[in-house]
Structure 1
Amino acid sequence: MCAMIHFGTDGWFARRDGDFTEESVARIADAAAEFWGRTRPGDIVYVAYDARQDAESFAVLAGRVLAARGLVAMVSNTVAPTPALAWTISRDQRACGGIMVTGSHNPQDYLGIKLFRADGAMLSSDEADEVENALPSDAPEERGAIKRIDLVTSYLDALYASVDGDLIAGAHLKVIYDSLYGAGAGWLPAVLGALGVEIIEIHDAQGAECDDVRPDPVEPWVDDCERAVQDLGAVAGFVTDGDADRAGIVDENGRFVGPDKMCALVLEHLVVNRGYSGRVVLGLSASALLRRVAASLGCRITTKPVGYEYLYKEMLKGDALVAFDENGAMGLPDWMPERDGFAVCLLICELMAKSGKTLSQLVDGLDERFGSMYRAKRNLKVENEVVEMFRTMLPGLNPRTVAGREPVAVSHMDGLRMEFEDESWLLMRPSRTKPIVRVYAEAPTIAARDELLEAGCDIARGEDEDSGFSVL
């Protein structure tokens, strides 16, 4: 029986002992070949893979299916981070797309497929739907010849040239890097080492796996990096997810720097130290901190629905400086349209070198100048019928008060977002694919934030009769 394959906002993922099989990969590769071959027959498709068990064999299989459909399949000859694949595609006019075999930030027993456009960005949801609609009922049997190539070296060379190497080398930085057993192992240390940074790797064995480590650069998975920074006297710690398109950072005191502050630091660095200008593109769930920093720098702000594909479409207009999603992933249009955790790490090194300040001083400076804000998200599981009722009611939902507060601004752009006088806010969004309502809130104190979260959950469950949506 064929697996049900549906691409979410970040690809398709399944358990290795479940639906992620040779048959599923071959079906996806065949459908992707149909999608690309309609407009770019005979062009190049690049294929790469992360460090998880059997990822290479699945990548080779995908390449051979593509080749059988008349496309030129260039398959990486080693574990490669997703940004290396995206960068390679974006620099080759002969390329019509790419396939990444990766578990990304999911648990170690998962693998997945990400599909990329000719410019190096991931397929949009509409394009992914086209691939889904082309999925054959059975796996194709034909196989073609592939070419194995180096997908990483040119990308690392370009990364090295993208920052001020002399400045970084002169700062004599010592950092910890944790790839979380992911595709970044060895590669980020290679470029940072070439820039004169002393770097110590942990969880660095490519291909090694540990059920106790989830490759997601957030707490608690960054705890080992936090301890290593303190124990070894490093000035910073860098953590990347399973395919290295997202990064997290740790200051010299072993304190995790949240994605909002990490993005704010990069934004200030690009404008103040590099002299860049342009619009700042934010998702609806972005922190008020980013809005305050962007406004202080004179940057226009564009707000889009949650999801990187909406930020990507906005960057295509050509006047965007940077785009940030809710997880701290960044789009740097001058570099490439896809997310790149390595580029973020290099920019943070350049910022420390340029400012002469520690990471904690830089982070604390944000709080002093812009005030503290605390943001969080809950994935609220509810019955299918409740999600559907909530989705139906959302366009007309406009609560007069929430947690005793009166909203000063309401948006139905993507769910229901209410902002309050102190710039705190609450956002509720039903998932497009799961029986989940995602509830976000941000406020100047943790207590106020949690009050908003609880109120949002009550509304989404239909347990707040005053909100206008009730299943009681």
Structure 2
Amino acid sequence: MGEMIRFGTDGWRARRDEAFTEGNVVRVVDAVASLWARSKPGSIIYIGFDTRPDADRFARLAARVAAGRGLVAMLSDRYVPTPAVSWTIAHDPRACGGLMVTGSHHPSDYLGIKFRMADGGAASTDFVDEIERAIEPDPTDARGPIEVVDIATPYFDSLVSVVDGDAIARANLHVVYDPMYGAGRGAMPAVLGALGVSVAEIHGEDDEGVAEMRPEPIEPWVDDCEQMVVEMGACCGLISDGDADRLGAVDEKGTYVNSHKLFSLLLWHLVNNRGMGGRVVLGAASSLLTRRIARDLDCRYVIKPIGYRYICEEMRKGGVMFGGEETGGFGIPEHFPERDGLLMILLLCELMAQTGKTLGELVASMEEKYGKTWYGRRDIRLQNEDIEALRTLLPGMNPKIVAGCKPERVSHADGMRLEFADESWVMLRPSGTEPLVRVYAEAFTLEQRDELLEAGAQIARLKDDAFV
């Protein structure tokens, strides 16, 4: 009898030495394949994999299981970014969806399976629930033939065609690219090079650092990139996570630029330089800086719960120009309704090329016009019973004073978000996949932000003095 399998906001993941077994992979893949085989019999399913050990082996197994359900299984001939799988599905009307075997931004001892629907976007909440209900207690023995195909080349060719290659070539950009040992390595420097960008790649080959690095493009994991940018005198450092659907960046001084500033710059670029328009979709933990810029650009923004699948669901309604989450996953539905960290990297290069400014100069100009804020996140690890107690209490919480300030607005749409008169805010949200509570805060001084983060941590721990 198989163990219970539950999905997070973007599929299923587990430790390779624990629940990520052949039997469980077969059970998960068979469940989703059975649903697609029922709704679109004989359609194509694309399967990709990242650079993690055994990812290729599990992807081949997944393809054979899907083929056992009568689907036409197309397996990538090499490791690929998740956006390559999404793009391929979205541009093939014969495809019912796809699977990506990836550890994404999680530690090196994890693997997982992401699901992508016929438009290349994330599976909806309802579809994920259907998959969970369809999982059989025992793995099937049914297998079928597969076809090995080139998913990578058409996708990377499409990236080159999206941006202003002439402007980028004239700018003579010199960048550091860090794929964090992940699926962007090798191919992304080639794309940048084809556009006339001088690229120094770090963490592009497996070495002893693979096991030590968490491939998430945030500090402290971007420290090597920060150092290399300064040493090489590059105009910026560009970073993608393990499966390259998220991005991070470092300015020319080696200073980390958080995802909210990147999203804000890209939003400004899409509207002012590329003439795009439409709604903007933001996660509940998005920055007030982004909201200010959206208002200034006359872009209506919509706030969704944390998790990109909620942003994707909003994109499917139409009229959306741009969407993003606080973890660095941004997407343009005109491309496909999912995150694409590599496209965003090229758009940042296009922005620098067209304005003639470095990344740091662009951030400084933005903050001069819209104000400088300090954003932070703290992860509070708790016992499962304490998290469940907080989850139960949060919907009824309405604190009168937090960190010496009176909340002006309280939202319980996704955890609890408190906003204050000066637009500073703090948010608590129990994780749906890990035994921790995430606390977010943003303020106009570093000290105020840290006070709000500490107050949020005390609330998360249900301390009696948290509201004074």
Partner of 1:148: 148
Partner of 1:314: 314
Q: CA deviation at 1:5?
A: 2.1
CA–CA separation in structure 1 for the residues paired with 2:53 and 2:165: 35
Partner of 1:331: 331
Amino acid at match of 1:259: S
Seen in structure 2, the aligned counterparts of structure 1 residues 163 and 207 have a Cα distance that, compared at 3 Å, is: farther
Q: CA deviation at 1:357?
A: 0.9
1:242-281 to structure 2, matched below 5 A, reads 242-281=242-281
Q: CA deviation at 1:435?
A: 4.2
Partner of 1:294: 294
Seen in structure 2, the aligned counterparts of structure 1 residues 25 and 249 have a Cα distance that, compared at 3 Å, is: same
Q: CA deviation at 1:396?
A: 2.7
- Identity, % of aligned positions: 54
Partner of 1:16: 16
Which moved further from structure 2: 269-278 or 2-11? 2-11
Partner of 1:210: 210
Amino acid at match of 1:145: P
Task: Extract unaligned runs of 5+ from structure 1.
Answer: none
Q: CA deviation at 1:272?
A: 1.0
Measured against aligned partners, the alpha-carbon deviations of 1:397-433 in whole angstroms (never above 9, x if no partner) come to: 2111111111111212112111111110011122335
CA–CA separation in structure 1 for the residues paired with 2:272 and 2:455: 39
Task: Extract unaligned runs of 5+ from structure 2.
Answer: none
Q: CA deviation at 1:39?
A: 0.5
Structure 1 SS opposite 2:275? coil
CA–CA separation in structure 2 for the residues paired with 1:358 and 1:439: 32
Q: C-alpha root-mean-square deviation of aligned residues, in Å?
A: 1.7
Q: Contact 1:8 / 1:125 at 8 angstroms: preserved in 2? A: no
Q: CA deviation at 1:368?
A: 1.2
Which moved further from structure 2: 374-383 or 405-414? 374-383
Q: Contact 1:52 / 1:208 at 8 angstroms: preserved in 2? A: no
Partner of 1:199: 199
Partner of 2:373: 373
Measured against aligned partners, the alpha-carbon deviations of 1:139-162 in whole angstroms (never above 9, x if no partner) come to: 211221100000011111111110
Amino acid at match of 1:197: V
CA–CA separation in structure 1 for the residues paired with 2:396 and 2:6: 30
Q: Contact 2:44 / 2:96 at 8 angstroms: preserved in 1? A: yes
Partner of 1:89: 89
Which moved further from structure 2: 118-127 or 261-270? 118-127
Amino acid at match of 1:7: F
Q: CA deviation at 1:4?
A: 3.5
Partner of 1:132: 132
Partner of 2:34: 34
Q: CA deviation at 1:330?
A: 0.6
Amino acid at match of 1:326: E
Amino acid at match of 2:228: A
Which TM-score applies when normalising by structure 1?
Answer: 0.95
Q: CA deviation at 1:394?
A: 2.7
CA–CA separation in structure 2 for the residues paired with 1:466 and 1:260: 28
Which moved further from structure 2: 301-310 or 458-467? 458-467
Partner of 1:453: 453
Partner of 1:283: 283
Measured against aligned partners, the alpha-carbon deviations of 1:310-348 in whole angstroms (never above 9, x if no partner) come to: 111111221111111111211211111110010010000
Structure 2 SS opposite 1:73? strand
Structure 2 SS opposite 1:327? coil
Q: CA deviation at 1:21?
A: 1.6
Structure 2 SS opposite 1:438? strand
**Aligned residues between the structures:** 468
1:282-431 to structure 2, matched below 5 A, reads 282-431=282-431
Q: CA deviation at 1:32?
A: 1.2
